[in-house]
Amino acid sequence: MKTEMKAKIFQYIDKNRDKLIETVQKLVQIPTVTGNEGPGQDYMAKLYNDIGLAVDCFTPEIDIVKKHPTFVEPDLSFAGRPNVVGVYEGTGAGRSLILNGHIDVVSPEPVCMWQYEPWAATIVGDRIYGRGTADMKAGLISNYFALKMLLDLGIKPQGKVILESVVGEESGSGGGTLACFMKDYKADGMIASEPHNLNVNIAHVGILYFRVKVMGKAAHGGLAHLGINAIGKMYPIYLALEELGNKRGQEIQHDLYMRGSGRTVHLSIGTIQAGDWPAKVAGSATLQGRISFVNGETEEAIKELICTTVNKAVENDPWFKEHPPLVEWFGWHNEPWYQDPEASFVKSFISSAEKTMGRPVELIGRASGNDARFGPHFNTPSICCGPKGGEIHGYDEYVEIPSVFEYTKALAIFICEWCGINE
Number of CB atoms found within 10 A of residue 364's CB? 22
Angle at 87 between CA 82 and CA 93, to 5 degrees: 150
- Residues with a catalytic annotation lie at 104, 169
Report the alpha-carbon distance of residue 70 to residue 233 in Å, rounded. Answer: 35
Full 3-state SS string of 81-108: CCEEEEEECCCCCCCCEEEEEECCECCC
Please tell me whether residue 51 adopts helix, strand or coil conformation: coil
Those residues whose C-beta lies under 8 Å from the C-beta of residue 322, and which sit 6 or more positions away, are none
List C-alpha distances in Å: 412 to 51, 59, 196, 278, 359: 15, 29, 18, 59, 17
Please tell me whether residue 210 adopts helix, strand or coil conformation: strand
Residue 23, Ramachandran bin (φ over 0: left; ψ between -120 and 50: alpha; else beta)? alpha
Report the alpha-carbon distance of residue 70 to residue 56 in Å, rounded. Answer: 23
List C-alpha distances in Å: 382 to 98, 234, 379: 9, 41, 9
My answer on whether omega of the bond before 108 falls inside 30° of 0, hence cis, is no
Backbone angles phi, psi at 285, to 5 degrees: -150, 145
DSSP 416: H
